[in-house]
Amino acid sequence: MRVFRVIAKSVITTLIFFVIVEIGLRVAYTGRNALVTYVPLPYVVGDDYGPIPPWLDNLLILRPDPLLIWKNIPNAHRNYVDIFTPVWRDSDRIALLRRFLPWLPSEFRSNPVWRIALNDEGFRTASFNGAKRTGVLRVACIGDSWTFGMNVDQNQMYPARLEALLKAHPPANARDVEVLNFGILGYTSFQGLQLLKTRVLDLHPAVVVIGFGLNDSDVAGYRDKDVLAPGPVRWRDRVKEVTEHSESLALLKYVALTLRFHPQDFGEFLKADAKTDQGKSNTNVNYDDLEPWTRVSPRDYDKNLREMIMRARAQGARVVLLDNELWAGSPYRPVLRSISRDENVPLVDSLQLIADARTALEREM
**146 shares a domain with 214:** yes
CATH number of the domain that 303 lies in?
3.40.50.1110
Q: Does residue 8 fall inside a structural domain?
A: no
**226 shares a domain with 181:** no
Whole-angstrom distance, CA of residue 136 vs CA of residue 125:
16
Q: Choose one of 254, 280, 306: the last residue of a domain.
A: 280
Question: Which sign does the torsion angle of CA 79, 84, 85, 86 carry?
Answer: positive
- Which pTM was predicted? 0.86
What DSSP letter does each residue of 90-128 carry, written as one string? HHHHHHHHH--SSS--GGGTTS-EEEEE--TTS-SS---
Domain residues for the domain of 105 are 39-118+220-280
Q: Which residues pair with 116 in a beta bridge?
A: 78
pLDDT in tens, the chain (365 residues): 777 787 878 888 888 888 898 999 999 999 999 999 888 765 544 456 778 889 988 888 999 999 999 999 999 999 998 766 666 676 777 777 788 999 888 878 888 889 999 999 999 998 887 777 788 899 999 999 999 998 899 999 999 999 999 999 988 888 889 999 999 999 999 999 999 999 999 999 999 999 999 999 998 899 999 998 776 666 566 666 666 778 998 999 999 988 888 776 666 666 666 655 544 554 567 888 889 999 999 999 999 999 999 999 999 999 999 998 888 888 999 999 999 999 999 999 998 999 999 999 999 98
Rounded (5°) CA angle 313-185-121 = 70
**241 shares a domain with 224:** yes
Please, are residues 143 and 186 in contact by the beta-carbon 8 Å criterion?
Answer: no
* Total structural domains within the chain: 2
**Maximum distance among all Cα pairs of the chain, rounded to whole angstroms:** 90
**175 shares a domain with 209:** yes
Q: Does residue 67 fall inside a structural domain?
A: yes
Contacts of 244 (CB under 8 A, 6+ apart): none
SS3 194: helix
Burial environment of residue 109 by CB neighbours within 10 A (0 to 12, 13 to 18, 19 or more): exposed
Q: Which residues pair with 323 in a beta bridge?
A: 349
Whole-angstrom distance, CA of residue 308 vs CA of residue 249:
43
Question: Which residues of 134-175 form beta strands (DSSP E)?
Answer: 136-143
